[in-house]
Amino acid sequence: MSRESYRIACIPGDGIGKEVIPAGQTVLEALAAAVGNGPGGFDFRFTKFDWGGDYYRRHGSMMPEAGLDEIRDMDAILFGSAGDPDIADHITLWGLRLKICQGFDQYANVRPTRILPDIDGPLKRCGPKDLDWVIVRENSEGEYAGVGGRVHQGHPIEAATDVSMMTRAGVERIMRFAFALARSRPRKQLTVVTKSNAQRHAMVMWDEIAVQVSREFADVKWDKELVDACTARMVNRPASLDTLVATNLHADILSDLAAALAGSLGIAPTANIDPQRRFPSMFEPIHGSAFDIMGKGLANPIGTFWSASMMLEHLGQPEAARVLMQAIEAVAADPALHPRDLGGKATTAEVTRAVCDRIKQPPDAPSAPPPKGGAAGGRGVRQPVQP
């Protein structure tokens, strides 16, 4: 078998993205050396793109006008964060991250959440087996469709609208993706999140389409939950949930709550998927740019590493994804290697080095002591599932 060489676009973006994406590259290179050697193995060719706030200050845009063409033929995208205190949030988001997501029709946003070993989450009655979720977020329309406008700006009669636009095609495809993902997990259970009691047009259509699509998945048990009630259920009855599907805005909020319940936004991963594989999919931590700790070596890189594991699964390298996830879990289980957001003192470099050391060990080797101071083929055929 020939050796696969995956072309990865690295877009650190802003803030701590510039620290965690290089850490992700380091871990992926260690993984390629340990797991990807020999016939049928793999390696990575990384190309860095300096798009983001600094690029905006130089050029007046977050990325080049033809930037999508520069990364269109990549196998995947590893993305850091978009957000700069000196640039309006809607400019940084729509000018970079959403431009890529919508430009490449990455309509399925997948966010797994579970409590990693020895992470102290806020739900004291909740064990790791009680919180093991994956949230599917519609990623192309809904509340973030970009439809709306402002008139009479600066006058007393100023008005602004943001229209939540849902299409039958968009809702059907995310529902099918979510039901299929739920079917692939042991519990075969899906919760459809809605707000059709108050949003009586688009969300009613959302509910109706869920019923219709469910008939194609008779083996999947599913229920419907209002989004406000779902927040309470996540806290009070976490074990009752498994796979969730929600609109762009609802899932955006629920997934941050899920990450906080699991211990920290710093460990949470995301995959922005084009399930049809016409374009590269994008993988990113959800923690944001965190300018308050930028350049201090305090950023938690686990969210990036977990996102990289999801990327490997998507690329058709499940064994490499498993090895990386096991290394992440082994490091998480050592309190001496917890960064500040998890209550520890470990630095970005120390966590990265520990994960690399774990990857390099033979499969059944004991854990290394903590450091001082604390079916491959490009866009493949597999759908992403939780590592």
State the Cα–Cα distance between residues 345 and 298, nearest whole angstrom. 8
**Burial degree of 236 (CB within 10 A; 0-12, 13-18, 19+):** exposed
Pull the structure tokens for residue 384: 């992403």
Pick the CATH number of 1-108+270-374+381-387 from 3.40.800.10, 3.40.718.10, 3.40.50.300, 3.30.365.10: 3.40.718.10
What's the chain's average pLDDT? 91
State the Cα–Cα distance between residues 153 and 169, nearest whole angstrom. 35
Distances, alpha carbon 334 to alpha carbons 64, 119, 125, 152, 268, in Å: 43, 9, 21, 57, 18
* ∠ CA 149-155-161, rounded to 5°: 20
Minimal CA–CA distance to 283: which of 43, 21, 71, 54?
21
The residues that bridge with 138 in the sheet, in sequence order, are 108
The third-level CATH classification (topology) of the domain covering 122-261 is Isopropylmalate Dehydrogenase (3.40.718)
Reported as a single tens digit per residue, the pLDDT across 86-115 is: 999 999 999 999 999 999 999 999 999 999
Provide, rounded to the nearest whole percent, the portion of the chain with pLDDT above 70. Answer: 92
Q: Walk along the chain (387 residues) and give the pLDDT tens digit of each residue.
A: 567 899 999 999 999 999 999 999 999 999 999 987 766 689 999 999 999 999 999 999 999 999 999 999 999 999 999 999 999 999 999 999 999 999 999 999 999 999 998 888 888 778 778 899 999 999 999 999 999 999 999 999 999 999 999 999 999 999 999 999 999 999 999 999 999 999 999 999 999 999 999 999 999 999 999 999 999 999 999 999 999 999 999 999 999 999 999 999 999 999 999 999 999 999 999 998 999 999 999 999 999 999 999 999 999 999 999 999 999 999 999 999 999 999 999 999 999 999 999 998 866 544 443 333 332 333 433 444 433
pLDDT of residue 38: 64
State the Cα–Cα distance between residues 45 and 53, nearest whole angstrom. 25
Distances, alpha carbon 264 to alpha carbons 13, 95, 121, 258, 375, in Å: 21, 27, 8, 9, 33
Comma-separated ranges of CATH 3.40.718.10 domains in the chain: 1-108+270-374+381-387, 122-261
**Burial degree of 2 (CB within 10 A; 0-12, 13-18, 19+):** exposed
Instruction: Give the number of other CB atoms < 10 A from CB of residue 319.
Output: 11
pLDDT of residue 378: 39
